[in-house]
């Protein structure tokens, strides 16, 4: 019998910021829409860490976290 675990903790911003784009899209496909809205070509910039995509990656990181938060609620 599988034991139900509680919700996962929020994804730390520093951890998300350091991940390459392709890893985030692979692990969280719903983030591809966030990159597209931000005008970021995930295929072209896939090897770059998210923190390197903009001078101020804060707003992008906020949107990415919002896109994946539903996974951590159940």
Number of domains the chain contains: 1
Let me know if residue 5 belongs to a domain.
Answer: no
Residues in the chain: 74
| 48 contacts 34 by C-beta, under 8 angstroms | no
Let me know if residue 54 belongs to a domain.
Answer: yes
Q: Residue 7, class by beta-carbon neighbours within 10 Å (0-12 exposed, 13-18 middle, 19+ buried)?
A: exposed
| pLDDT tens for each residue of the chain, 74 residues long | 555 555 556 678 888 999 999 999 998 899 999 999 999 999 999 999 999 998 999 999 999 999 988 776 65
Let me know if residue 52 belongs to a domain.
Answer: yes
Let me know if residue 58 belongs to a domain.
Answer: yes
Let me know if residue 8 belongs to a domain.
Answer: no
The alpha carbon of 1 is separated from its chain's Cα centroid by a whole number of angstroms, namely 32
Let me know if residue 65 belongs to a domain.
Answer: yes
Let me know if residue 4 belongs to a domain.
Answer: no
Let me know if residue 46 belongs to a domain.
Answer: yes
Host domain of residue 32: 13-72
The whole-model pTM stands at 0.80
């Amino acid at each position: 019998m599988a034991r139900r675990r509680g919700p996962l903790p929020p994804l730390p911003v520093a951890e998300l910021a350091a991940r390459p784009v392709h890893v985030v899209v692979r692990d969280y496909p719903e983030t591809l829409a966030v990159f597209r809205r931000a005008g970021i070509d995930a295929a072209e910039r896939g090897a770059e860490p998210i923190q390197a995509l903009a001078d101020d990656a804060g707003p992008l990181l906020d949107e990415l976290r919002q896109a994946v938060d539903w996974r951590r609620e159940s």
